[in-house]
Amino acid sequence: MTKRQQEETAVREGCTLRASEPAGRRFFKRVFRRGFESPTGTRFKRRNQLRDIRQQLRDIHERLDILCDEELEAYDNMPESIRDSARGDAAQSAIDTLESVRDQVLEAADEIDEIFE
């Protein structure tokens, strides 16, 4: 088996040939960093996907924050009689739910950050 064939086999089987090993050796040692990485970069693809998801979560958080502010402003501009009615209670409940979801989205993004630390 030629050196090139050995290298192609190593890549195909997800192995690496260590430089200190003789070229004629027919086995390869698997080398994994932290038990996750394969030579094809699958680990890096997953990391990039996590980074994308983290950014999307941060974008969603910003949009929810804007919606919360708009809902709160609309609630504050309601006449007192409507605020004290079922309609006002529903608006306050919607604001509370939006704030809760917004905070949970930020928590999820922060937990993804912990993966990279």
Phi then psi for residue 14, to 5 deg, are 75, 35
Q: Check if the beta carbon of residue 111 is closer than 8 Å to that of residue 94.
A: no
- Please tell me what DSSP assigns to residue 29: B
To the nearest whole number, what is the mean pLDDT of the chain?
A: 77
- Please tell me what DSSP assigns to residue 77: T
Determine what percent of the chain is predicted with pLDDT higher than 90: 53
Distance of CA 94 to the CA centre of its chain: 27
Rounded to an integer, what distance in angstroms lies between the CA atom of residue 116 and that of residue 112? 7
Taking only the tens place, the pLDDT of each residue in 21-31 is: 444 443 334 44
Give the three-state DSSP class for 38: coil
Residue written as tokens 């004629």? Answer: 24
Is the pLDDT at 108 greater than 70? The verdict is yes
pLDDT of 60: 96
Q: Check if the beta carbon of residue 94 is closer than 8 Å to that of residue 72.
A: no
Taking only the tens place, the pLDDT of each residue in 90-102 is: 999 999 999 999 9
Work out the average pLDDT over 103-114: 93
Rounded to an integer, what distance in angstroms lies between the CA atom of residue 52 and that of residue 54? 5
Is the pLDDT at 34 greater than 50? The verdict is no
Give the three-state DSSP class for 65: helix
Taking only the tens place, the pLDDT of each residue in 37-47 is: 455 567 778 88
